[in-house]
Amino acid sequence: ARMGRMLVELFYDVVSPYSWLGFEVLCRYQHIWNIDLHFRPAFLGGIMQATGNKPPAMLPKRAEYLLKDIKRMAKYYQVPVTISQDDFQRVLGKSSLGAMRFITAIDMTQPKYLEPLSREFWIRFWSQHEDISHVDSILAVAGNAGLSSELTQKLLEMTSSPAVKNRLKETTEEAIKYGAFGMPAVVAHFNGKPHLFFGCDRLELLASVIGEKWLGPVPS
């Protein structure tokens, strides 16, 4: 963390719509609060497996609620997440592993692209309802995030390397060590200890705990 700034880590996976909501709000606040925001791409599937958690949409009543909840949250946070019943099947039927390895590769080589690239994956999956698991999809996302085709090719090659696979695995294990059981997981480091906040609806509480002001989802 920069001198005197509090380290706040955001563990996320682009398959998670709540992660997108939390990501955008923290992006807005990183210039308002005295924090050093670190994006930590991790694999939600690995966290679910390690903790015995199940996708919330597998419970019909919860799925029904999630549809309403995500729509309300998207409007409140002003993030273009759109969701329908079909999306639950889409999420369960596709793996985000390739996408998260690609994002991990950019984090390791060109971190300045990490924010725009992650956002483009969410836009493709949660606004445009397109696939993110095929190479063509990854190429389209990378182009939209401003990556050159040379860099994109290099990153695609990296995704199958042990270095990238291990890095994603380590980040995922780190999130679990902090107590994560789902995404997003926000970890604030203050008073010499890590403090975990789960979900995108605890950012007001995060502000209160770290002694910052909550100015609403879209600070003016």
8 A C-beta contact, residue 21 and residue 79: yes
Mean pLDDT over all residues of the chain?
A: 94
Q: What amino acid is encoded at 11 in this protein?
A: F
Q: Among all residues, which ones are annotated catalytic?
A: 16
Residue 3 pLDDT class (50, 70, 90 cuts): low
Mean pLDDT computed over 38-62:
92
pLDDT tens profile 131-149:
999 999 999 999 999 999 9
For residue 155, the model assigns a pLDDT of 97
At 197, the pLDDT band (50, 70, 90 cuts) reads very high
Domains of the chain by residue range: 6-210
CB 78 within 8 A of CB 108: no
HEC per residue, 135-149:
HHHHHHHHHHCCCCH
- What value does the mean pLDDT take over residues 24-53? 96
With CA atoms as reference, report the closest residue to 17 among 83, 75, 76, 77. 83
- Give the pLDDT band of residue 152 (cuts 50, 70, 90): very high
Q: Are 184 and 200 contacting, i.e. CB atoms less than 8 angstroms apart?
A: yes
* Orientation of helix 60-77 relative to helix 85-93, angle to 10°: 100
Q: Could you tell me which CATH class the domain 6-210 is placed in?
A: alpha beta
Q: What secondary structure does DSSP assign to 51-108, as a single string?
A: HT---GGGSHHHHHHHHHHHHHHHHHHT------HHHHHHHHHS--HHHHHHHHHHHH
Q: What is the pLDDT of residues 14-23, one digit of tens each?
A: 999 999 999 9
Percent of the chain with pLDDT over 90: 87
The pLDDT tens digits of the residues spanning 61-112 come to 988 999 999 999 999 999 999 998 888 777 777 789 999 999 999 999 999 9
What tokens does 156 get? 């695609």
Radius of gyration of the chain from its Cα atoms, rounded to whole angstroms: 17
**Looking at the chain, how many residues does it have?**
220
Asked if the model's pLDDT at residue 154 lies above 70, the reply is yes
- Is 19:200 a contact under the CB 8 Å cutoff? yes
Which amino acid is present at 210?
A: I
pLDDT mean over 51-57: 87
* Sole residue written with tokens 């990183």: 30
